Structure 1
């Protein structure tokens, strides 16, 4: 990342917060909420940053995805400031190719599969697994260690006791259920960093991982490594 990109991000953050901001000691995964930005200020910084970079918001509506971390802001600024460090090897790409690449990068930024989630949990990464289904469904069977936050019950009050530092992974039954998406939207709107579990509980079990609850299976079934790991 170039100095120009970091300076541009710092300039916009300082304008929004009304005070100097030293970004040098902060890692890219620093949550914007820890800097004092709520959801409205974050959106304001995003729009101002895009305008400063001369972005046509109508043409690049895909860029209006609310950032969660400093790294998100650096990536946005680098994309439109032509920062070579932010996009190595992407020079000479057509608009269609750039748009396609952005799409797939965003998928990886906002989705996670069962294998990666299992590995992250085993490595002790700082994340919280959220079951967005009903309390009854959670009691029947859920991913070990997951917390129950039915998406219909989510409010500022119900989220008040949760830290915004970890990454939150939302899930539901599977591809025939959109509770995980609704949960992710509400968490993201409240300033949390969120990813959605691909395939939900169905694919978690299909991959052979154990579950908890009344109908749980305590021993993981024979697991076949994901072919994408090769």
Structure 2
């Protein structure tokens, strides 16, 4: 089912909790130039072969690309404050959507790729008590070098995934991600040899282990 929620954030909803007994709810954000189906393919891959099927909210980026198709969450090359404002607006809307008795008993897991990974990180930083886990796949992390000395509050567990040949995300930004998330004491990370800014089977397998399928 497709719907438009707060602030015209479009999403695809798949809720199979009643049928499977799986209390996880995946809240998903795609990368630049893709759409909400990207993350559905990822989570379907994670659950392939499992007896359960996932429940999810897979969101469509707030800006559509002219002519080329796909969408994005914040303009390419925008400044730090603009990027954070865009993420805050989406995060506030999504958290408001989740503030419902329908989702109260669910374990909520963020998962995002690239821009969507950065979005997931910013949502946890601003809403630290909402999510049980956040899976950040090749996240952009530009501008997060200085965090004003404030650690990420809450108990959210993090899984951080990068390819060793990912040149889309500069190495310094990857190091920043490791440092900022590592300071929580709740970080697991993986690096995939020979992989660029992409998603591979090994990552899918590691996500399954992380969420204990």
TM-score by length of 2: 0.29
Name whichever structure is richer in strand by fraction: 2
TM-score by length of 1: 0.27
Greater Rg by CA: 1
Name whichever structure is richer in helix by fraction: 1
